[in-house]
Amino acid sequence: MNTALILAGGLDPRFQMNIPKQFVNVNNRPVIVYTLEIFQNHQDIDEIIVTCVDGWQEMVRVYGKQFGITKLREIISGGKDAQESTYEGLKLLRKRMGKGDMVVIHDAIRPMVSEKIITRSMQMCRKKGMGVAATYIMDTIMHSWDGQEGYKSINRYEIMKVQTPQAFDFEFIWNVHSRAIEKQCLGAWDNSSLLTNLGEKVYFSKGSDLNLKINTVEDVEMFRALYRMKHPEENEKAKGEHG
């Protein structure tokens, strides 16, 4: 069994719109739908679970029916952060998954993920028990305490930019989260940081700079532009409908 666990539990007070960023409409579809469609269309994904911000679960259910997300199996409440939301999803899956089953964890606000990126993550997971999408950083990197002064350059060739999807053998990632709770190792940004916090090694799969994470209003516009570039046929269709 290969399950996609989509994390949509975030509510960022810094996001300058009046709805959660995963539900912002772009070209008449909410961001989360673009994400769900990629996993819906991936031949190796058997089911989709969504951990969702409270008050929006029914909306996800409606979107699932409206946009034909037939693999959407369950929608549950997310936690206060990514680690807790992931654990809530894993608890649900624990009833039917074990060693040899795979869970592919992905941020709902990364709607530009491709089937290739998902496949590479899953392939690495089959080899190493995990596959965490990541890319090199091409910019100069510096330490800074306040964002105004830099005091030390970092070798960019020793730095990786970690993304989602992050695929794991279910039994392995369940044990990692269980250990973290026992040790009160909480508040991790994602599963890769949780692993390193516990002294585990992380195995990377190839990500992409196009695998945009929507954090700001500017990112929404970037996604809109990138999507139009990748799908010119939809631009023509929209012109026909309005022309």
pLDDT at position 241: 44
* pLDDT score of 196 more than 50: yes
pLDDT at position 133: 98
* pLDDT score of 21 more than 90: no
pLDDT at position 42: 98
Q: Domain containing 208 — which CATH number?
A: 3.90.550.10
**Of 202, 199, 196, whose CA–CA distance to 167 is shortest?**
202
Banded model confidence at residue 243, pLDDT cuts 50, 70, 90: very low
pLDDT at position 11: 61
Global model pTM greater than 0.85: yes
Banded model confidence at residue 233, pLDDT cuts 50, 70, 90: low
pLDDT at position 47: 97
What is the C-alpha separation between 228 and 110, in angstroms, rounded?
Answer: 16
Tens-digit pLDDT profile for residues 99-148: 899 999 999 999 999 999 999 999 999 999 999 999 999 888 899 998 88
Phi, psi of 5, deg, nearest 5: -105, 105
- Which residues face 141 on adjacent strands? 154
* pLDDT score of 41 more than 90: yes
Contact between 133 and 164 under an 8 Å Cβ cutoff? The reply is yes
Mean pLDDT rounded to a whole number for the chain = 91
Structure tokens at 49: 């679970």
Which domain range does residue 46 map to? 2-242
Contact between 41 and 15 under an 8 Å Cβ cutoff? The reply is no
Most confident range (mean pLDDT) of 12-26, 73-87, 104-118 is 104-118
Domain count, the chain: 1
